[in-house]
Structure 1
Amino acid sequence: MGDNGKPNDNILMHVLSPYPEHRSALTDRNFSSSALTIFIINREASTLPFSKRRVRRSGARTNQSNNVVNSTWRKWIKLNIYYRIASAVVIILMIVGFAFAGLKLGSGDNSRSVYKTTEMPGVHYEIARYSQHISEPTSVNYTDLGHIPPTSGHHWPRWAKCGFYEEELPDELVVHNMEHGNIVISYNLVKKEDLDSLKKSFSDVSLSKLWGVARFYSGIPEGQISLSTWGVTDSFTNVDPSRIQRFFQVYHGALGPEKIPCNAHPK
């Protein structure tokens, strides 16, 4: 160090030898020792390697950032999986719904298919494509239905009142009852004991007072009884009280497009 507090040239040359780009400072005689010290400290600090602590901190921040990215990615994957599962469930439900609707629509083709069921009594028939009111006493040809007595089709605006009739009631009248979900018993019994037995069986069914009409019907063979409602007929011989009871229980007010008891009779 010189007398004036400034470093001499030899000291500067030694200190600045690692930094040739700054040797021009040798020519600056105002370069103080304190300035030299600050320069060396700053220069050394900029070239020193990171400490282990700084490396650990930097690594921790990097790991934390990676964890956030990985967590976000996992959440996105889970949401994507849930979305795919929900979409698959919706598609399956739609396919099942369309298939079920197709089966129902398929039953309305031109063929007069007849099928029996094990759960419900009787034979089920396709509903007629025509089922409108016609003026009384216009008659309707029901032969194209393929079954007697008819269970659907055009009919009169009037319908029969609940009860047991020993006279023959027109089809055009009682088909309207069937449209209301009523049960119509058509019978062709010649023996008085059979007729009395049928009357008793009819009156024993409490539902017959609201939903039942019984009529003599010459359109079926002698000795036959036919229980009918909208689109269904159960025919048999010999009076069977339990069969009549079950038919009423299953079908009263069930199948017709209009649910109107036959005791609600137009005047």
Structure 2
Amino acid sequence: MPDPSKPTVKQQRTERRAEKVAVLQKQLATQRRNRRIGIGAAIVGGVAVLALVIGFVVVGATPKPNPNDIAISGLKLFPGLVGGVHVDPTPVDYQATYDMNPPAGGDHFAAWLNCGVYDQPQANENAVHALEHGAVWVTYDPEALSESEIASLRDAVPSTYSVLSPYPGLPASVVISAWGAQVQLDGVDDPRLKSFIQKYWKSASAPEPGAACTGAIDGPGRIA
């Protein structure tokens, strides 16, 4: 006769099954908890990375000023200039014809001056053609500036779509010109230099903005 104090075989099987189920449920619960922790950490990490990216974008992105909103004191404009008029080989008297010194647009030669840095004066008619393509022309009186000041100008002008050259007899130590616009600066540190470049460099107001500023005439004394 079976001992009533001892579990039957069936009861033993049931207990072992219950123990296995309890162990399995505990393992599943642990896995679910670890999964929730991992997902939470991933979300927090993703949010942190996104915040860093947004922070870098916001801090690093400096919006460009609207050229139309840039006011420049002493700005002289020459409205009504007609582009595309080539007069080779007849030189142009820009002072008499347009009251410009140096020129800031008007009739010019068919070949443009390649943009770059020059240590010798350039032909007006070729430089004006570069202005027609959206370049800026920074001219300086070589008698008025030191070598260090000239070097400072070289650092200040854009690497493309700009011409830097000496121009004896200027009305100021530095004059910056674009097509139809010009400013006489007080020196190489004049903040209007930067403002003028922001307003007129590759400006849509030029007759042929974006046309080539290379592949034509290298004037004398090109150094960069």
Provide the TM-score with structure 2 as the length reference: 0.57
- 1:183/1:227 contact within 8 Å kept: yes
Q: Equivalent residue of 2:120, what SS?
A: strand
Q: Hey, what's the Cα distance between the residues in 2 that align with 1:256 and 1:212?
A: 14
CA RMSD of aligned residues (A): 2.5
Q: Equivalent residue of 1:227, what SS?
A: strand
Q: Quick one: which amino acid aligns to residue 176 of structure 1?
A: H
Q: Hey, what's the Cα distance between the residues in 1 that align with 2:107 and 2:92?
A: 7
Aligned residues, how many? 146
Change in CA separation of 1:243 and 1:149 when aligned onto 2, cut-off 3 Å: same
Is 1:216 equivalent to 2:169 in the alignment? no
Give the aligned partner of residue 91 of structure 2: 139
Give the aligned partner of residue 97 of structure 1: none
Q: Quick one: which amino acid aligns to residue 182 of structure 2?
A: T
Is 1:258 equivalent to 2:194 in the alignment? no
Q: Hey, what's the Cα distance between the residues in 1 that align with 2:106 and 2:144?
A: 32
Aligned match for 2:140, one of 175, 187, 203: 187
Q: Which has the higher helix share?
A: 1
Query: Radius of gyration: which is bigger?
Result: 1
Give the aligned partner of residue 150 of structure 2: 198
Give the aligned partner of residue 120 of structure 1: 71
Q: Deviations over 1:169-221 (max 9, x none)?
A: 0111111011111000111132562x43233233244xx21111011112414
Change in CA separation of 1:262 and 1:237 when aligned onto 2, cut-off 3 Å: farther
- For structure 1, list consecutive stretches of 5 or more residues without a partner in the other structure: 1-116
Change in CA separation of 1:180 and 1:236 when aligned onto 2, cut-off 3 Å: same
Q: Hey, what's the Cα distance between the residues in 1 that align with 2:111 and 2:177?
A: 18
Compute the displacement of 1:229 (Å): 0.3
Change in CA separation of 1:262 and 1:183 when aligned onto 2, cut-off 3 Å: farther
Change in CA separation of 1:124 and 1:159 when aligned onto 2, cut-off 3 Å: same
Q: Quick one: which amino acid aligns to residue 207 of structure 2?
A: P
| Greater relative contact order (Cα < 8 A, sep 6+) | 2
Q: Hey, what's the Cα distance between the residues in 1 that align with 2:80 and 2:105?
A: 6
Identity of aligned residues (%): 24
Q: Hey, what's the Cα distance between the residues in 2 that align with 1:145 and 1:125?
A: 8
Provide the TM-score with structure 1 as the length reference: 0.48
Q: Hey, what's the Cα distance between the residues in 1 that align with 2:193 and 2:180?
A: 17
Give the aligned partner of residue 244 of structure 1: 193
